[in-house]
């Protein structure tokens, strides 16, 4: 049996430590991937510093991480899509309450991944490029295509225009970069927001119009851009996005739904020694105000809202639509771009903590990656 090593979170709020880990064989509908690259998302450092509030079911020590790319070394029973030696990317779902398994965390040498949460990658695509996709892709897909969210038409290589326009607030983020491309591939026009330095970036991904989310007139300007258009709903990403999207959707004709990929509070000031409960209590008024104001505004305006849980597609048909039907061919034919670009912070699991620290400081239009 192969020897495994992992970047462990030994206790809540501790720094990462690299130690040996069990190798877990593939079970039914699972594959084991030898990781060649992993990437880091905001939820990783938030879990490290505030895990008891976000993922209270996690028992330590634990292995975090959602994004991985590597080589299949084992396939489980009933797995027909993959074979040993195949190059793949995967969304590891170990922190999901229904999985809750360190064996399914990305930050290790060998990870167990569900068959329906992985996809082959082209021979000319590096692992470092491919690994920027999984969680951002999954989160965008949940918000866009799940029946309990925006329920848009599914993406395809031959999509027909729907005549509707989607709002993506936060287009240069990892989730936004994937949402823009998925919506375009499903036949929707996309209007988005970003900082001015990323205007060209989001337009290259397919957005027809982009607005500065820091502008004092941005809500008014976006509403004007939707004149004469039918809105397909809004995907809200980032601080203040949900409130802005409510105002815009209210003023537009079409699908009155805001799918939210955002936290109502900030965790940026949390450190290893922070009193997380005090931090939470200090921000409790803001949390309560956010919840109450969103509830009141959405009900008065008859707008539906729902928060996205980025691994929920593993339990429905959207995972197959994305990871089996659409993504492999789209990557192969160059009709879907691995975005944002990778920023490799180092090689080896020893660089996971440095990657977490860098992500926590804030990045724009890049994805923090560790090569293995």
The DSSP code sequence of 43-95 is HHHHHHHHHHHH-TT--SSEE---EEEEEEEEE-TT--S--TT-EEEEE--TT
The rounded percent of the chain whose pLDDT value lies above 70 is 93
Does residue 103 fall inside a structural domain? yes
Which residues, in sequence order, are bridge partners of residue 18? 7
- Per-residue pLDDT band for 292 (boundaries 50, 70, 90) equals confident
**In sequence order, what are the residues at sequence separation of 6 or more whose Cβ sits closer than 8 angstroms to the Cβ of residue 311?**
66, 91, 93, 95, 96, 99, 138
Q: 308: helix, coil or strand? A: coil
Is 90 exceeded by the pLDDT of residue 52? Answer: no
Is 60 exceeded by the pLDDT of residue 270? Answer: no
Q: Do 211 and 166 have their domain in common?
A: yes
pTM of the model: 0.94
Does residue 330 fall inside a structural domain? no
Q: Do 183 and 265 have their domain in common?
A: yes
Does residue 317 fall inside a structural domain? no
**Residue 344, Cβ density class (10 Å: 0-12 exposed, 13-18 middle, ≥19 buried):** middle
Does residue 272 fall inside a structural domain? yes
Query: Which residue matches tokens 């980025």?
Result: 310
What is the model's pLDDT at position 354? Answer: 97
**Residue 372, Cβ density class (10 Å: 0-12 exposed, 13-18 middle, ≥19 buried):** buried
Does residue 331 fall inside a structural domain? no
What count of other Cβ atoms lies within 10 Å of the Cβ of residue 27? 14
Does residue 282 fall inside a structural domain? yes
Copy the structure tokens of residue 157. 């290589």
Distance (Å, whole) CA 326 – CA 156: 6
The 8-class DSSP code of residue 55 comes to -
Task: Measure the CA dihedral 193/198/199/202, to 10°.
Answer: -70
Overall average pLDDT of the 209-216 stretch: 97
- Per-residue pLDDT band for 267 (boundaries 50, 70, 90) equals low
CATH code assigned at 282: 3.40.50.720
Q: Which domain holds residue 88?
A: 4-133+338-371
């Amino acid at each position: 049996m192969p020897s495994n090593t992992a970047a462990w979170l030994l206790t809540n709020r501790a720094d990462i430590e690299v130690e040996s880990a069990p190798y877990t064989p593939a079970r039914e509908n699972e594959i084991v991937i030898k990781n060649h690259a992993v990437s880091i998302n905001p939820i990783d450092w938030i879990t490290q510093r505030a895990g008891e509030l976000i993922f209270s079911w996690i028992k330590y020590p634990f292995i975090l991480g959602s994004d991985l790319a590597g080589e299949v070394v084992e396939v489980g029973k009933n797995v027909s899509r993959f074979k040993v030696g195949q190059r793949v990317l995967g969304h590891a779902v170990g922190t999901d309450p229904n999985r809750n398994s360190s064996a399914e965390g990305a930050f290790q040498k060998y990870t167990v991944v569900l068959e329906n949460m992985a996809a082959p990658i082209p021979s000319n695509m590096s692992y470092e490029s491919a690994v920027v996709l999984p969680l951002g892709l999954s989160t965008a897909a949940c918000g866009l295509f799940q029946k309990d969210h925006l329920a848009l038409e599914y993406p395809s290589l031959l999509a027909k225009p729907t005549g509707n326009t989607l709002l993506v607030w936060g287009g240069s983020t990892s989730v936004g970069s994937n949402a823009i491309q998925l919506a375009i591939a499903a036949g929707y026009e996309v209007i988005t927001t970003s900082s001015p330095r990323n205007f060209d970036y989001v337009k290259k991904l397919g957005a027809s119009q982009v607005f500065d989310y820091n502008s004092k007139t941005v809500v008014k300007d976006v509403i004007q851009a939707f004149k004469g258009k039918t809105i397909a709903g809004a995907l809200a990403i980032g601080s203040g996005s949900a409130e802005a999207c409510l105002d815009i959707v209210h003023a537009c004709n079409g699908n009155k739904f805001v799918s939210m990929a955002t936290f109502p509070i900030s965790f940026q000031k949390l450190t290893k020694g922070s009193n997380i409960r005090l931090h939470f209590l200090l921000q409790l008024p803001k949390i309560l105000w956010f919840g109450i104001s969103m509830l009141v505004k959405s009900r008065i305006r008859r707008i539906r809202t729902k928060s996205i849980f980025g691994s929920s597609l593993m339990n429905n048909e959207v995972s197959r639509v994305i990871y089996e039907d659409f993504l492999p061919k789209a990557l192969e034919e160059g009709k879907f771009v691995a975005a944002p670009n990778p920023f490799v912070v180092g090689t080896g699991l020893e660089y996971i903590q440095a990657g977490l620290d860098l992500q926590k400081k804030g990045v724009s239009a890049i994805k923090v990656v560790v090569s293995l």
